[in-house]
Amino acid sequence: MNRIEEQYRALLGTLLENSTEKSDRTGTGTLSVFGRQIRHQMKDGFPLLTTKRMAVKTMMTELKWFLKGDTNIKYLVDNGCKVWNGDAYKKYRDVYEIESRENDSKLEELHMLSDLTEVEFIDRIKGDDEFARIWGELGPIYGKQWRSWKQEDVLEYGYKEGEVLIDQIANLIKELKTNPDSRRLMVSAWNVGELSEMTLPPCHYGFQVYTRLTTRDEKIVNPGKYRAISLMWNQRSVDTFLGLPFNIASYAALLCLIAEEVGMIPDQLIGNLGDVHLYKNHEDQAREQLSREMYDLPTVEFSNVNLLDGDFDFEVKDYKYHPSIKAPLSN
């Protein structure tokens, strides 16, 4: 059973045949629709697409990075994850072009010793800690908001206490353990006061979890687990060919990890999607993917889970897939 991929394929088909052409910040152009939802029952398998091979290790590495509260690509680069390389390099190039024209003397101070290619830039990130500290930093994006949301000027008995950092993930786990029926089980990455400091504002900007008591049959299959947990994420901008498969799998993994941390069963995964688009230079790839046969979903087993440290192991089982389909990134 692979209903999640059926929904994904339906989205691709709609974008190819019944969508609106729009311009975008990258200059590529998109085919777009607005307001869609996808749903998946985790008991049906782990939602990795089968009509093209997915980079599971890359996706899991990025999720660990988020959970650690990290915002510097050094961790990703050291672990072979290239997802954010282009964003960091673009930031470097934008600053280099300005400073090389207006203030040559500042280049050395900023460790901008030469006009680097992206490959050279990533090599410097790997081998030069000071360069990585400056140019690997992406600003207060996902991990920062999840683990240390900045709340300023907190008043305590009429006095300003200064900056307070809120660990939303730790608070979520605590609340799930003490008040699992709460309707406030939410995490947000959309910090309006810090958007201008982010290399890229969050595309998937928040999620909510929901728990229920398990059924008698569920208790038999999962002894000792008395609650099931679902996760719904919200996404303003959806790169359907490259990004959405990654987002689906990442939030499925997060749901499984939270469930493991609090002793519950992963239940439903739901995605609320805003601007759902297909970049115009992905049309041929999307048609190729739609021509392929779907396979049954694999399973993924998690172990050694320490959610608050961003550490876990995983094993993918019975993953049958078609070859990957290359497509250009639009940064």
Over 60: is that where the pLDDT of 208 sits? Answer: yes
User: Which residues make Cβ contacts (< 8 Å) with residue 307, sequence separation at least 6?
Assistant: 67, 169, 173, 257, 258, 260, 261
In a domain, 323, yes or no: no
Spatial CA neighbour of 77 closest among 67, 66, 65: 65
Q: Which residue has the tokens 């470097």?
A: 92
Give the lowest-confidence range in 56-60, 67-71, 159-163, 269-273: 159-163
Q: How confident is the model at residue 151 (pLDDT cuts 50, 70, 90)?
A: confident
Which H or E run contains 60?
A: helix 56-67
Distances (CA, A) of 207 to 146, 210, 235, 310: 11, 10, 9, 18
In a domain, 231, yes or no: yes
In a domain, 30, yes or no: yes
User: How does pLDDT run across 26-52, given as a tens digit for each residue?
Assistant: 899 999 999 999 999 999 999 999 999
Three-state DSSP at 167 gives: coil
The strand pair at 186-188 and 164-166 is best described as: unpaired
The residue segments making up the domain with residue 121 are 72-138
Number of H helices, E strands in the chain: 12, 12
Give me the CATH number covering residue 15. Answer: 3.30.572.10
My answer on whether 130 and 250 are in the same domain is no
Q: How confident is the model at residue 222 (pLDDT cuts 50, 70, 90)?
A: confident
Mean pLDDT computed over every residue of the chain: 93
My answer on whether 99 and 185 are in the same domain is no
Q: Look up 203 and say whether it is catalytic.
A: yes
Across the range 89-115, mean pLDDT stands at: 70
My answer on whether 110 and 50 are in the same domain is no
Across the range 132-159, mean pLDDT stands at: 85
- Where does residue 277 fall: left (phi above 0), alpha (psi -120 to 50 degrees), or beta otherwise? beta
Distance (Å, whole) CA 176 – CA 173: 5
**Number of folded domains that form the chain:** 2
Decide: 166 and 174 in contact? Cβ < 8 Å.
no
Distances (CA, A) of 3 to 88, 176, 246, 287, 301: 36, 29, 17, 19, 20
Question: How much is the pTM?
Answer: 0.93
Longest dimension (CA), the chain: 71
User: What are the residue ranges of helices labelled H in 136-242?
Assistant: 142-148, 168-178, 216-221
Over 60: is that where the pLDDT of 126 sits? Answer: yes
My answer on whether 190 and 87 are in the same domain is no
Decide: 209 and 231 in contact? Cβ < 8 Å.
yes
Residue 82 has what pLDDT? 96
Residue 323 has what pLDDT? 98
Residue 155 has what pLDDT? 60
CB atoms within 10 A of CB 286: 22
Decide: 15 and 34 in contact? Cβ < 8 Å.
no
Exposed / middle / buried, residue 85 (Cβ in 10 Å: 0-12, 13-18, 19+): buried
Over 70: is that where the pLDDT of 184 sits? Answer: yes
In a domain, 146, yes or no: no
Which H or E run contains 186?
A: strand 186-188
The active-site residue out of 203, 294, 305, 325 is 203
My answer on whether 179 and 247 are in the same domain is yes
Three-state DSSP at 162 gives: coil
My answer on whether 198 and 307 are in the same domain is yes
My answer on whether 191 and 294 are in the same domain is yes
User: How does pLDDT run across 292-323, given as a tens digit for each residue?
Assistant: 999 999 999 999 999 999 999 999 999 999 99
Residue 329 has what pLDDT? 86
Distance (Å, whole) CA 199 – CA 72: 11
In a domain, 288, yes or no: yes
- Of 62 and 26, the one with more pLDDT: 62
